[in-house]
Structure formats: structure tokens, C-alpha cells
Amino acid sequence: MTKPPTPEPKTPRDVAVAVQGEGTPDGETGRVVASGHGEIARQIIEIAAQHGIEIRKDADLAEVLAVLETDSPIPPEVMAIVAELLGYVYRANNEAMADES
């Protein structure tokens, strides 16, 4: 029996999410204006760089935000959940890296 191919590990550029309007007067913490994987992610990053938009390299955050629909607001309640999830992911990643060394 042959094993299925092992997927390549994702890199921070495999997923990208563009967020606009952080801290808007209507109380939104931001709005997802674009997201994608692979070539689409690379295009999002390229366009942002061309326009001088700050790029934050955070694959875990991008993966979490990528599940939101484009043009959907990120409500403060979701940001609190995202912060909690990311805390867990960062701790797990740090523990895994410590175990490997």
C-alpha cells in the first residue's frame, strides 16, 4: 500500500488577507477586503507592497481571518476570539519548536 504524498508545509506567503478600516468610527475593528491562497495571496501581497501598505507577516492570523467572507466586517467580539485562538496557536507552536530542539 502506498502512502499519500505528504503535503508541503505552508509558508507565510501561502495565505494573505487584506484588512481595511481598522478603528473606524462605526465601531468596526476592520473589514476583510481581500483574501486568498497561493498565487492570489502573492498578488495581494504584491499589490499591497506597490501601494506602500503595511504588510504584517503572520500566517496564523491570516489563516484565521481567511475564513471570513470578503467585504465582511470583523466585529470586536470576533477579534477577542481571534486573540484567544492566536494565543493558543502561538503557545502550541512555541512548544513544538522547543520539543524539536
Whether residue 27 lies inside any domain: the answer is yes
Could you give the CA distance from residue 31 to residue 34 in angstroms, rounded to a whole number? 9
Whether residue 38 lies inside any domain: the answer is yes
pTM over 0.75: no
Could you give the CA distance from residue 53 to residue 95 in angstroms, rounded to a whole number? 33
CATH code of 71's domain: 3.40.1690.10
Whether residue 5 lies inside any domain: the answer is no
Tell me the three cell numbers of residue 98: 522547543
CA atoms within 13 A on the CB side of 41: 18
Q: pLDDT of 26-62, one tens digit each?
A: 656 788 899 999 999 999 999 999 998 888 888 878 8
Q: pLDDT of 47-101, one tens digit each?
A: 999 998 888 888 878 888 888 899 888 877 777 777 777 788 788 888 888 888 7
